[in-house]
Amino acid sequence: MPELYHQTIAELSAALEAGSLSSVALTEAVIARTAAVEAKVQAFIHYDAEDALTQARASDERRAAGKALGPLEGIPLGIKDILAVEGQPLRCASKILDNFVSPYDATVIAKLRAAGAVLWGRLNMDEFAMGSSTENSAYVTTANPWDLERIPGGSSGGSAAALAAGEAIATIGTDTGGSIRQPAALCGVVGMKPTYGLVSRYGLVAFASSLDQAGPMSRTVEDAAILLQAMLGKDPLDSTSIAMPEVPDFRAELKTRKGPWKLGVPREFLAEGIDPEVKANIEAAIDWYRQQGSEIVDISLPHTHLSVPVYYIIATAEASSNLARFDGVRYGHRSAEANDALSLFTKSRGEGFGDEVKRRIILGTYVLSSGYYDAYYLRAQKVRTLIRRDFETAFEQVDAILSPTSPTPAFKRGERSDDPLAMYLSDIYTIAVNLAGLPALSLPSGLTSEGLPIGLQVIGKAFGEADLFAVAHAFEQAHDYHRQVAAI
């Protein structure tokens, strides 16, 4: 058996239920592991061991009283520093929220509490989720546990790295353009972005409201299914949240939905700009599905090559407005130099935001400014419709779509930080999914010759999470990539 901190929710919850393990013991193991490796990995912005142990004790007491709350009871889950947890710091890895402590729980956090989970720490990220490498954090630089010189991906890089390093049993990330899936791929774990609206955004600090979704990051597809089951649901506090007509038991359906499936492979995604090793790996995965009897369908998503400009117009426009509330008035950083209403804003924001956030706010402000709205924002929203339709057409023929998650494995720290456009292009396989509001999952599909993880992306139909999990689970169980552990 692997160490406790490298086990899955399914395994640990069975042990907890059998009485062979306590939540306190499990939480202590995770805390000890974190103490041992955190200096190298730096996945966390903040953690409070005593607070976690208090939650673990409460969980053990519930279980002793016969009031255990389900498979997440007593499981330590790491939380990205973008989801509000009452009484814990909420900084989005930004200086502008230095000292801010949330007075309320995000809906998804309240649901995880109600499921008995131990909320463990604040995980590092790109500032306000803007980035693909977690290099844009104002606090710490997170390393990829597979190669400490490399980035863990982003923006949920802390969530992916903590999981790969055994500093949490599972983690919660958020995904606006690939921020769960890309770091999951680069760190060799499972990362799942639900259908837009399936999980409440209330308490998720907005980057791009029409694209953001919180989702699970875990060691296995089964664990992701367990987590999503607890996270989803229509929320009266989020008008964009949607009730699934009938919520399946994802974990049970994993075992009953066995295929074969009709799986689409978009020819545009394996064309140019892809690392040869990644390409070979994904083609091998596709072959596996074919050998298992699934029909592989060559499909076209003709507008997806426009995803990057569409995404960066919509996301930055929404962000420029969403981040206006960080102004030094009611909370967060206020410049010591502020001496009138204007400098209160300009200096507090100039000092409080990092380069990438400034870049995106300026870009988003520009595309919405007088005279440019139609040419950029409105046009991008229309092309977004075309991208959505591409997927709708494809899903008339197929049950799921297969692609790489990232065109390359983890790159070296600093390699792209001066070239924002190159960084933006690394999201090419993931962002179309957010624009179309679809669910997608990245799962480990092997390692490169240098020993770096590669991720296979499975894209599902809207609200087709059960099939998505089943397709991914079949591949996972036939291989043991998910059992490979980074040696730190």
Partner 1 sequence: MEYDVVIGLEIHVQLKTRTKMFTAAPYHYGAEPNTLTDAVVLGLPGTLPVLNHAAIEACAKLGLMLGCEIAEVCKWDRKNYFYPDSPKNYQLTQNEEPLCLGGRVEIELPGPSRNVQGEHRTVRLNRIHLEEDPGKLSHEAFDTVIDFNRAGVPLAEIVTEPDLHSSEEAVAFLNALIQLIHYAGVSDCDMEKGQLRCDANVSLKPAGSEQLGTRTEMKNLNSISNVRAAIEYEIARQADLLDAGESITQETRRWNAEKGTSSSLRSKEEAHDYRYFPDPDLMPVRLVRARVAEMEAGLPERPFDKQRRFQEELGLPYTITSVLCPDPELSAFFEAALAVHHAPKAIANYIANDLLRELSASAAHGESALSITDCPLTPAHIAELAKLIEAGVITKQIGKEVFAAMYASGELPAAIVEKEGLEQSDNSDEVETLCREAIAGNAKAVAQFKEGNDKALNALKGPVMKATKGQANPATLDAILRKLIESEG
Partner 2 sequence: MTDNAHLDIDYVARLARIELNDAEKKKLGGQLVAILEHFEALKGVDVSEVEPTAHAHPVENIWREGDSAGSVYAPETLAKMAPESRDQQVVVPKVVE
* Catalytic machinery residues: 80, 155, 179
Among 139, 146, 202, 289, binds partner 1 (CB under 8 A): 202
Can residue 206 be called a binding residue for partner 1 (CB under 8 A)?
yes
Buried b (16+ CB within 10 A) or exposed e, 100-116: bebeebbbbbbbbbebb
Question: Tokens in use for 404?
Answer: 């790489």
Q: Rounded to an integer, what distance in angstroms lies between the CA atom of residue 159 and that of residue 161?
A: 6
- Binds 146, which of partner 1, partner 2, none (CB < 5 to 8 A, cut-off by type)? none
**In terms of CB distance, is 96 or 225 closer to partner 1?**
96
Q: Which of 415, 486, 413, 420 is nearest to 151 (CA)?
A: 413
Q: Which of 135, 161, 154 is nearest to 417 (CA)?
A: 135
Q: Backbone dihedral region of 134: left (phi > 0), alpha (psi from -120 to 50 degrees) or beta?
A: left
Beta carbon of residue 307, minimum distance to partner 1 (angstroms, whole number): 18
Residue that has been written with the tokens 């997170």 in this structure: 142
Among 210, 292, 343, 484, binds partner 1 (CB under 8 A): 210
Can residue 100 be called a binding residue for partner 1 (CB under 8 A)?
yes
Among 223, 268, 318, 390, binds partner 1 (CB under 8 A): 318
84 in Cβ contact with 105 (< 8 Å): yes
Cβ within 8 Å of residue 363, ≥6 positions away: 312, 316, 320
H-only helix segments in 323-378: 341-352, 355-368
CA distances from 110 to 51, 115, 191, 234 (A): 16, 9, 21, 13
Q: Rounded to an integer, what distance in angstroms lies between the CA atom of residue 72 and that of residue 413?
A: 35
- Binds 205, which of partner 2, partner 1, none (CB < 5 to 8 A, cut-off by type)? partner 1
- Binds 359, which of partner 1, partner 2, none (CB < 5 to 8 A, cut-off by type)? partner 2
- If residue 456 lies in a helix (H) or strand (E), which one and from where to where? strand 453-460
- Binds 361, which of partner 2, partner 1, none (CB < 5 to 8 A, cut-off by type)? partner 2
Cβ neighbours, 10 Å, residue 362: 12
Can residue 104 be called a binding residue for partner 1 (CB under 8 A)?
yes
Among 2, 87, 103, 273, binds partner 1 (CB under 8 A): 103
**In terms of CB distance, is 288 or 366 closer to partner 2?**
366
Cβ within 8 Å of residue 109, ≥6 positions away: 79, 83, 84, 85, 86, 119, 203
Q: Which region among 10-18, 159-167, 364-372, 464-472 touches partner 1 (by CB under 8 A)?
A: 364-372
**In terms of CB distance, is 287 or 373 closer to partner 1?**
373
Among 32, 64, 271, 329, binds partner 1 (CB under 8 A): 329
Beta carbon of residue 154, minimum distance to partner 2 (angstroms, whole number): 18
- Binds 388, which of partner 2, partner 1, none (CB < 5 to 8 A, cut-off by type)? partner 2
Q: Rounded to an integer, what distance in angstroms lies between the CA atom of residue 177 and that of residue 351?
A: 26
- Binds 343, which of partner 2, partner 1, none (CB < 5 to 8 A, cut-off by type)? partner 2
Question: Strand, coil or helix: what is 38?
Answer: helix
**In terms of CB distance, is 292 or 346 closer to partner 1?**
346
- The reply to whether omega before 260 is within 30° of 0 (cis) is yes
Can residue 331 be called a binding residue for partner 1 (CB under 8 A)?
yes
Can residue 66 be called a binding residue for partner 1 (CB under 8 A)?
no
Can residue 321 be called a binding residue for partner 1 (CB under 8 A)?
yes
Among 205, 230, 401, 433, binds partner 1 (CB under 8 A): 205
Number of residues forming the site for partner 1 (CB under 8 A): 44
Residues that bind partner 1 (CB under 8 A): 83-84, 90, 92, 97, 100, 102-104, 106, 201-206, 208-210, 236-240, 317-318, 320-321, 324-327, 329-331, 341, 344-345, 365, 368-370, 373, 377
